[in-house]
Structure 1
């Protein structure tokens, strides 16, 4: 349930927000806008400090109503010398509702458009980290929902500015204690500036104990002081404590032009890289990403497993990409997806149940299907089923082409990479004849199962644990008769059905697909077509009945592709073991739409020492798996 807010009549347009939990106002009596500018921006010497920098990272304790973020974003946008990328990382144990966040900006007309964009993305804020994206991916807000100490534990990014906020130290001492400041200090470099409106001696002493040099400065009105300072510990920092170096953009080769490779290319290009994408095929998305249409829906488990949490993070990133890059109704549609639980009723986590604290945020993602939704599918009211709210269908090939069209990305087809050779500080990619296709400082293997074959043939350490999985889908065109029998949204759970997707030939349907391990054949098989139809009869009986004549009359088309999976069912994302500057992004199985954009952003963040888009332990779960480690793979 969102944090309860009281609005006090004080003559302002939106009234003044007050927290019943802490008995405290959300900003000073002079207003949140003035406080944000005078205390935090000026206290951290912004925007002057970030001028000409490639990226800048602000860490905030206490997101509250988001005004500090909105003011910083507005200052970034107005600055002609702004950094290419602005990261804003904020912790919040008790997130406010989107409506309250928007209402807090009413009295500041210059922030209304920013506040509306923020409100639109403030959904599904379950405990954990949530990456919100603005300005075409140049402003990235990482919301850490939970205790600040816990959320910052193990963080591996470097903050350039720190805003210390939250309720009064007298009312909320936990966020101002030495343990919180130690967690903040672990995210700072020498010279990181810190600012706050809290000037109590206990705050100053705790900060000094953690290596910050701070002092009081005159504030916004007589008798009001602010705190300013910087991180300058008297001790040498341990190597294990140092954040990863921020890598400068350079040249990169991505091998593979499917979802994984195109996503990596676009993410690196946004950060200034020049990326060459090589693929053996003559067109992009010629492999598993060429599926006519795919379903995008979160994985759900009673224990909210690693796979479930990763799928939500990935879907949030993919929805942002689709919304900003694709044409709704033609390239994708966020219809929602019904999951028909064929084998057994899939249980939601206990904390998501009605009346529980997480119910509202969880129901932004997944709920029990309603009787009306089941009726649209021709299913009985007692049928076990889930409704995925943030879900729909996407044409993967269309998204691949849009990503490859990003400025800074060059696509080269009919370039069959067979070997990697290290020459000085660069990698050369060779074809079967030993000719150099391209060379660059960084190589990313994103060629599905071929990633493992390429790495192994080049002698690059232990073999990657990647398994080829053949899938055959079936598709056809809707008639007036079949269209009436179709639901208004995709259905999955035993195969899947996309009931209405615009194809070149007309409005079509797509079902499937099969799942055949250790097969790389792309031959269209009548037996697999029959298998897809049999699964549809169980998944969606009305649709199957309407399509029976098309299957019987051999009017159905087939498509086959080779997916790639790992033993853990999680993607493989990270640098290859003991091999400099070669990374892999592969093994996404049948969830390429869920994971491709997330893996690309994670790869870019790790290369640049940026805040990660998800918790460190979830990122670690994606590190490449090798054949020798099969016995120790992560259970999900």
Structure 2
């Protein structure tokens, strides 16, 4: 359930939990500007910076975020990238948030954008993206102290906010303020509305130089502070590798993972060359005609389940920003059907029934099952924010962003590092010709990553084949939305760019370990059709019955499409430096396996965040689980 909010007669929101107003008597807007934004020296402090990172304790209705975003928008000297990190133990409901923020006309358009992404806020880390990825809101849903100790973002400014120390003492106590201090660099500025003696003393003990400043009426004073301890601190900035400033780099691989990585870096000011052996982008596994993006579920909410949710949000945000709904993607929802022996493994966490978990996944209703012509009571989950996507369209839009130069027909045979002070990396073709040179290289080449990494990791090749069929004029789709489980079905997507041409369905995929030959032989293609038909019989029997003749004689309206994917033993991607000590500047974003559409956009953001020392877009434990360090002993 969302945090309950009461509305006072004057229209002010009130928290029954803490017995306090959510913002001051003046409506909060003046406080957000004068106390927090200007109290931290903004917008002047971020002028000309490549990025600026703000930490807020207590998101509430987001007024401080919206005011900061509006100031960034209006500033011609704004930083390239604005990070706003905020903690919130008790997120309010989406409608209450919109009601509280849209009363300010100058903020109403931004409030509506925030409201559109305000869903599914389970405990953990959520990345919301605005302004084409240049304004990033990272929400830590949970206890402030615990979340800051876990994530340790390095920040340039702190908005110390929350209900009054008398009503919510935990967010102001010395342990929480120590966690805040560990996120600061020397010179980080902090502002708050309270002048409580205990808060002033705790900040001083944590290394802040504290001063009083004129307050916003009716308060006489506010607090300003600068982090400048008399000792050498070990903060988030010191604990992380030195971030790289934007410069030159090249990415190998023109699929979704490579394009997403290139786009994430380009947004931050990097000049990216993208090399691919294909003549056009998405020539490999990302050339799949259409695929499904959906969350993984498990009763214990496993690592993969949490990772997939972050991936779905990232993919959906990018699709909405870059693609045409109905033509390039569709947030149609996805029905996940469970095999009889998998029902227990696909149960949803018990706490999800009436909370934000239901935004992600819920037991499929009989009405939803009937839409797919499945019997009432069929074991299945419904994922409302899942859908289908044409990956080549996404790749094309990602690569169209400024700062990226495409180099097709570039077959990289090996990498070598130049001797000398700069230690630049070179990409060489089979003849030894240098195709690209830069201090940083990212390998995102799918199954070809094995060769480029000299088999540094036990990457596995996995060929997959899907069956694709077209509809005749006026022929009804097989189902109103995609289904997945043992295989997946996208029942209806356009083959043409304008949607006026033929429509198609796609079913698959096979998992052919150790096979890499393309195209498959006619016999292998027939075997793939047979395997996909068997999966369709288990997934959607009415569709299988309708297409039985087509699968029996696939040479008519059906064809196979095949590609080779890249996986690891634990079914997780690898994202980060290959070996920071021995191979500086060499990074990887690969091994997406069968979840490339769900995870690639998120992984591109994760790589860019790690490279630049930014707040991470997901739980730090998940980021660590994707790191190359886990492969050192294999």
State whether TM-score is above 0.5. Answer: yes
How far apart, CA to CA, are the structure 2 residues paired with 1:569 and 1:222? 57
SS state of the match for residue 264, structure 2? helix
Cα distance change on mapping 1:516 and 1:350 into 2, 3 Å: same
Is the contact made by 1:464 and 1:625 (CA closer than 8 Å) also made in structure 2? no
Aligned counterpart in structure 2 of residue 507 of structure 1, from 503, 506, 512: 503
Structure 2 partner of 1:417: 412
Alignment of 1:7-26 (within 5 A): 7-10=7-10, 15-26=11-22
Residue 381 of structure 1: SS of its match in structure 2?
Answer: coil
Q: In the alignment, is residue 314 of structure 1 matched against residue 311 of structure 2?
A: yes
What residue is the counterpart of 1:41 in the other structure? Answer: 37
SS at match of 2:633: helix
The one of 514, 519, 529 equivalent to 1:518 is: 514
Q: Deviations over 1:104-128 (max 9, x none)?
A: 1233110100110000000000000
Question: Residue 458 of structure 2 is aligned with which of 438, 461, 465?
Answer: 465
1:408 to 403, 422, 444: 403
CA RMSD of aligned residues (A): 1.5
Q: Deviations over 1:162-205 (max 9, x none)?
A: 00011110111100011111111111000100000111101111
1:430 matched to which residue of 2?
A: 428
- Would you say 1:596 and 2:600 are equivalent positions? yes
Q: 1:366 aligns with which of 361, 365, 375?
A: 361
Query: For residue 61 of structure 2, what is the aligned residue in structure 1?
Result: 65
User: Judging changes above 3 Å, is the alpha-carbon distance between structure 1 residues 625 and 211 closer, same or farther for their aligned structure 2 residues?
Assistant: closer
| 1:490 counterpart = 2:468 | no
> What do the CA deviations read for 1:525-560 (whole angstroms, capped 9, x no partner)?
211111111111111111111112222232211100
Report what 2:347 is aligned to: 348
Report the equivalent of 2:470: 477
Following TM superposition, by how much is the alpha carbon of 1:154 offset from its aligned partner in structure 2, in angstroms? 3.6
Asked if structure 2 preserves the Cα contact closer than 8 Å seen for 1:157 and 1:243, the reply is no
Question: Per the alignment, do residues 137 and 546 of structure 1 end up closer, same or farther by CA in structure 2, a change over 3 Å counting?
Answer: same
The corresponding residue for 2:544 is 544
Q: Secondary structure at the match of 2:476?
A: helix
Question: Unmatched 5+ residue regions in structure 2?
Answer: none
Which residue among 587, 591, 596 is the counterpart of 2:591? 587
| Corresponding residue of 1:568 | 570
- Whole-angstrom CA distance in 2 between matches of 1:427 and 1:477: 46
Offset of 1:360 from its aligned partner?
A: 2.4
Using the TM superposition, give the Cα deviation of residue 523 of structure 1 relative to its aligned residue in structure 2, in angstroms: 2.8
The change in CA–CA distance for 1:277 and 1:223 in structure 2 (over 3 A counts) is closer
CA distance 1:628–1:66, shift in 2 (3 Å): closer
Equivalence for 1:395: 390
Which residue of the partner structure matches residue 203 of structure 2? Answer: 207
Contact 1:157–1:244 under 8 Å retained in 2: no
CA shift in 2, pair 1:353/1:595, >3 Å: closer
For residue 324 of structure 1, the aligned residue among 305, 321, 324 is 321
Cα distance in 1 for partners of 2:610, 2:631 equals: 24
**CA deviation map 1:262-308 (0-9, x unaligned):** 11011111111111111112221111111110011100011100000
- State the 1:624 CA deviation: 2.0
Q: Is the 1:340–1:492 Cα contact (8 Å) retained in structure 2?
A: yes
Mapped contact 2:2–2:90 kept (Cα < 8 A): yes
Shift of 1:317: 0.5
Which residue does the alignment assign to 1:624? 628
Q: In 2 relative to 1, CA 101–624 (structure 1 residues): closer, same or farther, beyond 3 Å?
A: same
In the superposition, the TM-score normalised over structure 1's length comes to 0.94
| 1:329-367 residue CA offsets vs partner (Å, 9 max, x unmatched) | 11111100000101332443434343xxxx320011000
Which stretch shifts more, 80-89 or 155-164?
A: 155-164
SS of the residue corresponding to residue 480 of structure 2 reads coil
User: Among residues 138, 142, 147, which one is paired with 1:146 in the alignment?
Assistant: 142
**Residues 626 and 30 (structure 1 numbering): CA distance in 2 closer, same or farther, change over 3 Å?**
closer
Q: More deviation in 387-396 or 231-240?
A: 231-240
- TM-score, with length taken from structure 2: 0.95
Give the whole-Å Cα distance in 2 for the aligned partners of 1:628 and 1:151: 28
- Distance of 1:587 and 1:621 partners within structure 2: 13
